[in-house]
Amino acid sequence: MKVLVIGTGAVGCAVAIAAADAGMETAVLARTKTAEYIRNHGLKRTGIFGEKEISPERIAVYEDYDQIPSGFDYVAVASKTMANSSVADALASHRDILGSNGRIVLFQNGWGNDEPYLVHFPASQVFNARVITGFERTEPGITKVTVHTAPILLGSLHGESIKELEPLANAINDSGIPSETSDQLEEALWAKMLYNTTLNPLGAILDMSYGELAATEHIVDIMNDLIKETFAVIDAAGYKTFWKTPKEYMDVFYGKLVPDTVAHRASTLQDIEKRQKTEIDTLNGCVQKLGRKYGVKTPTHDMIVEMIKGIEDIRC
């Protein structure tokens, strides 16, 4: 099988390593500096699931869509969500990369990431992944698994068959990172939205790990308000997740999810430290947008969005 990974940050490198480790024909689309590093050194994964290295000759590296050959079974998109419109347009302009049977799988934070792809491709070719494992890119081509609380899930938000995703899910799982397919991806992605919108930008604003955020009742009060507002939006929009009430989720959140990821540093914080724009618009900004659409007030999310955008204005 052939796998193309678009976006060679921490998650993208991990997916490429898993695919190559499984014997799949693996390629990456990378920027010049990262492309040069991978050509010379290959890819490496470190962290809690052990080390894996992929030598340079096992990875094809491209810097432009015009260079990419045809016939990939999977295109794993792990770029920042802000790039989705341009990635979708580029793939639509180079349809032979996927052909009629290839599948796009979005390994990204947030909700609504599939929308730009569905403009060009049928739902039978557009899939999502729920990633709640923590990754950090320590160097170009090197990713570190920092924390883990649940398997990576691959599935469809549109009722499509997920059987064809099993080889990719198995490859990730066999590389040492728990992964499987799921027919409850909507529930899983909103579970991740609850987790991410509560912890990720707040960790960036306060420069705290997830464990530190939960260590004081003052910050816990803010997080509880974020959770309650997200549940109100889920209910108003008619979406689904695994818990019926904020209280049910909070029991899992404070009892398992935060303890499992106590040392994690938010990806939003990592973006700001690199002076890069964040994914706030597909995280708390998405909850804010849906709240306005369905008449739900989201004052805590509104505050978080404005604070992150203010930090971006100064530092990014």
| Tokens found for residue 228 | 């309650």
Q: What is the pLDDT of residue 100?
A: 84
Q: What is the pLDDT of residue 263?
A: 87
| Domain boundary, last residue among 124, 153, 182 | 182
Q: What is the pLDDT of residue 112?
A: 95
Is the domain of 198 the same as that of 289? Answer: yes
Q: What is the pLDDT of residue 139?
A: 93
Is the domain of 245 the same as that of 129? Answer: no
Which of 44, 36, 42 lies closest to 56, judged by CA?
A: 42
Which of 111, 106, 61 lies closest to 87, judged by CA?
A: 106
Q: What is the pLDDT of residue 145?
A: 96
Average pLDDT over residues 56-84: 97
Is the domain of 166 the same as that of 288? Answer: no
Is the domain of 13 the same as that of 141? Answer: yes
Structural domain boundaries enclosing 96: 2-182
pLDDT tens string 114-162: 999 999 999 999 999 999 998 999 999 999 999 998 999 999 999 999 9
What is the band of 257 on the pLDDT scale with cuts at 50, 70, 90?
Answer: very high
pLDDT tens string 215-249: 999 999 999 999 999 999 999 999 999 999 999 99
Q: Which long-range contacts does 115-122 make (Cβ < 8 Å, 24+ apart)? A: 115/84, 116/84, 116/85, 116/87, 116/88, 116/89, 117/84, 117/88, 117/91, 119/88, 119/92, 120/88, 120/89, 120/91, 120/92, 121/88, 121/91, 121/92
Is the domain of 145 the same as that of 232? Answer: no
Domain of residue 122, CATH code = 3.40.50.720
| Tokens found for residue 35 | 């492309």
Q: What is the pLDDT of residue 304?
A: 98
pLDDT reading at 265 higher than 90? no
Is the domain of 273 the same as that of 208? Answer: yes
Q: How many structural domains are present in the chain?
A: 2
pLDDT tens string 81-108: 999 999 999 999 999 999 889 999 999 9
- At 249, the amino acid letter reads Y
What residues are annotated to the active site? 192
Q: What is the pLDDT of residue 228?
A: 98
Is the domain of 58 the same as that of 156? Answer: yes
Question: Which alpha helices (DSSP H) does the chain contain, by range?
Answer: 10-21, 32-41, 84-93, 115-118, 166-174, 185-206, 210-213, 217-237, 246-252, 258-260, 267-273, 284-294, 299-315
Is the domain of 239 the same as that of 311? Answer: yes
pLDDT tens string 154-182: 999 999 999 999 999 999 999 999 999 99
Q: What is the pLDDT of residue 176?
A: 97
